[in-house]
Amino acid sequence: MDAVLTSKPPRKPRTKIIGSIIAVLAMVALGGVAWYLTHQPKEAGPGMQGGPGGGGPGGGRGGRGGATTVGVATAEVADIPVSLDALGTVTAAATATVRPQVSGILQKVHFSEGQLVKAGQVLATIDPRPFEMALLQASGQRQRDEAQLASARVTLDRFKTLLEQDSIARQEVDTQAALVKQLEGTAMTDRAAEGIAKLNLSYTQIKAPITGRVGLRVVDMGNLVNSGDAAGIAVITQLSPIDVEFAVPQDRVPDLQASLRGGAALPAQAYDRTRTNALATGKFAALDNQVDVQTGTVRAKARFGNDDQGLFPSQFVNLRLELRTIKDAVMVPVTALRNSSTGDFVYVLNAADRTVAVRPVTRGQATVDKVQIKTGLKAGEQVITEGADRLKDGAKVTLPGDKPAAGGGGRRGGRNGAGRGTPAEGTPPAAGGAPAADAAPAAPGAAAPAAPAADGERRRRGDGTGGERPRRQREGAEQQ
């Protein structure tokens, strides 16, 4: 025994070398296993991909070859409106620049900036005194000429009486008749001049030509204004009713004209730039008569009552024009419709065996989140909306509410049975009632084998006892 103890130190370098070689070999083997697992072919079946005990449907990586979890939706019947969306510009139905029609000093201003005015309301007054004098002058001239006309007519009547008595020459009668006609023309001219003077006098009161909102004032009181001023006094914009001009793509013009031929008024909605708030409700008004060659669109106009002043001139709005309504349309989510080189299709779910089938369809009108299926699908059928990228015709699928298949614990059971060699929990002992090898009692003086750390230490050292004394005895035997 003493010889064994004294020979122990020379054996330590050899033991370290062997341990290092084993460690290197273990690392090489581990690297090989890692390379093999990361370079498996993608088409490998569940048996090749699965780890220990992974043959079950839910065990290990074998689940990759199983059914795909998808989302489904049911085709529904609904009435969908066919609408035309466009970006429009609010334009006033009428805009008028208030200009003076006669020249003069602006004496009074009867409006405030931004005020709502009615047609015919007096907005400003020009000094009327020069025009009153002109009216008096025209009236006096008319009265004088009318008096002369009356005298000439009396003279003509007297001459006609004398001509009947053959007391005067016919030439004098004809001359007097010509004078009467000349004075009648003069009197008519005077009446026209008097009317112009009255009209100019009325123009000294500047009135609103239309109903609307007055803009900012251009001139102030005391300034000389005339009809040649381009800016005028103010600008009036009609706000109710008001129009929205928009562009219709030339491809949608036939649909619009077909709806107009029915004679029904097409409703229109004006939304803000976020398309969430409806600003006003109106109807289609007019369509232009030619296509813009630069944009390929046709100008159109919709009219709105705008009683609440929700629309403002030159404002940009989103316009939605409803052309017609499709009754009893089969609708599915937009995500359910797929496209291929042969056309549109959907994956239809067979609820009996949880498989999908490719169904060619014909799409129709679309809304924000749904699309119409004209042909190929019936109401009540279920279509795949999520996970369709991993499917093919006849593939098996699972739904989120389905229960997992049996055998999901195959990997854990395989690892316990093949790797560690210990029975699974609840497994009865071997025949004859003998306990397992790992549960055998240890030699006298050794540690209790029930501790998991001692069990792992025994496997690392390669013997079944795990004690220090048997190892030393083995080394002593080898030395002898």
Tens place of pLDDT for every residue, the chain, 480 residues?
444 444 445 555 667 788 888 888 888 888 888 888 776 654 433 333 333 333 333 333 333 456 888 888 999 998 888 888 999 999 998 999 999 999 999 999 999 999 999 999 999 999 999 999 999 999 999 999 999 999 999 999 998 888 888 888 889 999 999 999 999 999 999 999 999 999 999 999 999 999 999 999 989 999 999 988 888 999 999 999 999 999 999 999 998 988 888 777 899 999 998 888 999 999 999 999 999 999 999 999 999 999 888 899 999 999 999 988 888 899 999 999 998 888 899 999 988 888 999 999 999 888 888 898 999 898 999 999 988 888 888 888 888 877 665 544 444 433 443 334 333 343 333 333 433 334 333 333 333 333 334 344 444 444 444 444 444 444 544 444
Which residue, among 281, 286, 296, has the nearest Cα to 256 in the 3D structure? 286
For residue 392, give the DSSP letter.
-
User: Could you tell me the pTM of the whole model?
Assistant: 0.55
Rounded to whole angstroms, how far apart are CA atoms 108 and 206? Answer: 10
Alpha-carbon span 301 to 94, nearest angstrom: 14
How many angstroms separate the Cα of 90 from the Cα of each of 117, 238, 290, 425, 451? Answer: 21, 12, 21, 79, 86
DSSP summary character for residue 292:
B
Is residue 293 domain-resident? yes
Among 57, 59, 50, 51, CA closest to 419:
51
Q: Cα separations (Å) of 127 from 6, 203, 352, 394?
A: 139, 10, 95, 94
Residue 120 and residue 454: Cα distance in Å, rounded? Answer: 110
Pair of tokens at residue 141: 């001239």
Q: What total of structural domains would you count in the chain?
A: 4
Q: At CA 99, angle to CA 97 and CA 101, rounded to 5?
A: 145
Last residue of one domain, picked from the residues 380, 398, 416: 398
The whole-angstrom separation of Cα 161 and Cα 155 is 10
Rg (CA), the chain: 53
Residue 205: inside a domain? yes
C-alpha count within 13 angstroms, C-beta hemisphere, residue 103? 4
Residues 183 and 160 in one domain: yes
> What is the distance between the alpha carbons of residues 287 and 246, in angstroms, rounded to a whole number?
10
Of 365, 330, 358, 329, residue with least CA distance to 343: 358
Are both 281 and 213 inside the same structural domain?
no
State which residues form the domain around 28. Answer: 1-41
CATH of the domain at 348: 2.40.420.20
CATH number at residue 295: 2.40.30.170
Q: Are residues 197 and 128 in the same domain?
A: yes
pLDDT of residue 358: 92
Q: Is residue 383 part of a domain?
A: yes
| Domain boundary, last residue among 325, 343, 367 | 325
CA 338, 340, 342, 348 dihedral sign is negative
Residue in the structure block whose two tokens are 């229109």: 268
Residue positions counted in the chain? 480
312 and 333 part of one domain: no
For residues 188 and 254, give the distance between their C-alpha atoms in angstroms, rounded to a whole number: 60
CA nearest neighbour of 248 among 208, 203, 288, 191? 288
Which three-class secondary structure state does DSSP give residue 442? coil
Chain centre to alpha carbon of residue 298: 23
Instruction: Give dist(CA 64, CA 174) in Å, integer.
Output: 125
Spatial separation of the C-alpha atoms in residues 231 and 225, rounded to whole Å:
11
Ramachandran region, residue 376 (left: φ > 0; alpha: ψ -120 to 50; beta: rest): left
Is there a single domain that holds both residue 218 and residue 251? Answer: no
Distance CA 237, CA 117 (A): 10
- Specify whether the CB–CB gap between 88 and 434 falls below 8 A: no
117 in any annotated domain: yes
User: What is the model's pLDDT at position 10?
Assistant: 52
125 and 227 housed in the same domain? yes
Residue with tokens 């036939």: 254
Same domain, 311 and 332: no
Whose structure tokens read 């088409």? Answer: 43
420 DSSP 8-state letter: I
Domain closes at, from 279, 296, 325: 325
Q: Tell which residue, 254, 255, 258, 284, has the closest CA to residue 270.
A: 284
Say if 403 falls within a structural domain: no
Q: Could you tell me which residues come within 8 angstroms of residue 379 by beta carbon, excluding any fewer than 6 positions away?
A: 75, 76, 77, 330
Residues 292 and 358 in one domain: no
The CATH number of whichever domain residue 184 belongs to comes to 1.10.287.470
- Classify residue 419 by its DSSP letter: I
DSSP state of 427: P
Tell me: do 256 and 208 sit in the same domain. Answer: no
Alpha carbon 173 to its chain's center: 91
Asked if 223 and 333 sit in the same domain, the reply is no
- How far apart are the C-alpha atoms of 112 and 215, rounded to whole Å? 9
Whole-number pLDDT of residue 13: 62
Co-location of 301 and 201 in the same domain: no
HEC profile for 327-350? EEEEEEEHHHCEEECCEEEEEEEE
Residue among 187, 93, 87, 178 nearest 143 (CA): 187
Asked if the structure places residue 462 within a domain, the reply is no
Structure tokens at 332: 């599915």
Cα 120 to chain centroid distance, Å, stands at: 45
Is 215 a member of any domain?
Answer: yes
Same domain, 284 and 316: yes
pLDDT score for 55 = 35
Residue 113 confidence (pLDDT): 92
In a domain, 209, yes or no: yes
